[in-house]
Amino acid sequence: MINAGIVVGAFLSNFIALLVPVEDKNDPDSYVALKNDENWRLVFGFSAVAEIVSLIFLVCSVKHISLLDLVKTGQKEEGVGLIK
């Protein structure tokens, strides 16, 4: 689920990138339009928001100590319980 948020954020930010004008070598005004355009903020901002939401979800959803930590601390019974 967490990776899905990052993937959706990356996909949508790439899709939103279609709003950014493309520089045309034959049109001298296209460089000015590209330089003055501020839609790039949407591209970076949307993916950043999606990743922050994914990180918050990660912190709030992980309730267990990792299996490796349980084995290292000698709590093998709890580790076996997590596997089942």
Over residues 33-80, the pLDDT tens digits come to: 777 877 777 777 777 787 788 778 878 877 667 777 777 888 877 777
Average pLDDT over residues 26-30: 79
Mean pLDDT in residue range 24-40: 77
Which amino acid is located at 47 in the chain?
Answer: S
Q: What are the sequence ranges of the domains in the chain?
A: 2-83
Residue 1 is predicted with a pLDDT of: 59
Of the candidates 43, 44, 47, the residue with the CA atom closest to the CA atom of residue 55: 47
pTM of the model: 0.50
Q: Please compute the mean of the pLDDT values over residues 19-41 and round it to a whole number.
A: 76
CA distance 63 to 82: 12
